[in-house]
């Protein structure tokens, strides 16, 4: 029986950077579709500040689909950071930085907006606190954390959709696991409190949570 009372500890295939490049390429293609149609872009865009040409950092950008979508919709400059250089090569409108989110190499208040999408559920609670504190430090105006809502409907929906439509073993495995590793609103607020970040959590359709922290 699948339980949702606390975060799962099961590993995700995507976190194994020794996997073949073609597996990541297929997964990134499918995640682009998932983010487009299941609210991943809107979850970030709806909270962006109305300022001209903001400088933004996309933490753990993966295949850069979120940053590519945003730069196609609004005038902005985006730096994409990830440990996996292969995904960063997919970004056509962004500046890539290969680095670990746990040790981000930027000065205080470097970026107007620091965001992360579908990243925090890959981390332990302790590492979430550490990364969020870094994001807050290097943000000038706003921090956004977009992740999944741990909910039975979200779990069984993504398990069904990926089993039917996905050609990626990585996506078929990691999609349902991601929901089980994800959060409830109170859990994200607790992470923010421990990081010393004054955040609020909003629900974003369907089954997304967005932690928003303004300076």
Looking at residue 33, its pLDDT comes to 95
Q: Name the residue with tokens 């302790």.
A: 126
pTM (2 decimals)? Answer: 0.96
The predicted model gives 70-77 an average pLDDT of: 94
Q: What is the pLDDT of residues 123-159, one digit of tens each?
A: 999 999 999 999 999 999 999 999 999 999 999 999 9
Q: All domains of the chain, ordered by start, with CATH? A: 19-43+53-214 (3.40.50.150)
177 neighbors 16 (Cβ within 8 angstroms) = no
114 neighbors 107 (Cβ within 8 angstroms) = no
Distance CA(175)–CA(47), nearest Å, equals 25
DSSP per-residue string spanning 169-210: HHHHHHHHHHHHH-B-HHHHHHHHHHHT--EEEEEETTTEEE
Compute the mean pLDDT over every residue in the chain, rounded to the nearest whole number.
Answer: 97
Distance CA(87)–CA(190), nearest Å, equals 31
Looking at residue 1, its pLDDT comes to 82
The predicted model gives 171-181 an average pLDDT of: 98
Q: What is the pLDDT of residues 28-71, one digit of tens each?
A: 999 999 999 999 999 999 999 999 999 999 999 999 999 999 99
């Amino acid at each position: 029986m699948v339980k949702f009372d606390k975060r799962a500890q099961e590993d995700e295939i995507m976190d194994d950077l020794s996997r073949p490049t073609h597996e990541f390429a297929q997964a990134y293609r499918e995640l682009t579709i998932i983010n487009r149609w299941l609210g991943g872009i809107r979850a970030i865009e709806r909270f962006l500040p109305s300022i001209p040409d903001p400088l933004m950092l996309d933490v753990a950008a993966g295949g850069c689909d979120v940053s590519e979508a945003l730069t196609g919709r609004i005038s902005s400059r985006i730096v994409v950071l990830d440990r996996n250089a292969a995904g960063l090569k997919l970004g056509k409108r962004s500046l890539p930085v290969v680095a670990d989110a746990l040790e981000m190499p930027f000065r205080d208040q470097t970026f107007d907006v620091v965001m992360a999408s579908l990243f925090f559920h890959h981390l332990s609670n302790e590492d979430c606190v550490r990364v969020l504190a870094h994001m807050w430090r290097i943000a000038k105006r706003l921090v956004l954390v977009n992740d999944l809502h741990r909910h039975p409907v979200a779990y069984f929906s993504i398990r069904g959709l990926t089993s039917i439509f996905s050609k990626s073993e990585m996506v078929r495995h990691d999609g349902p696991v991601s929901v089980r590793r994800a959060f409830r609103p109170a859990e994200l607020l607790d992470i923010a409190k421990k990081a010393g970040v004054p955040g609020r959590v909003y629900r974003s359709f369907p089954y997304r949570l967005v932690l928003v922290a303004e300076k």
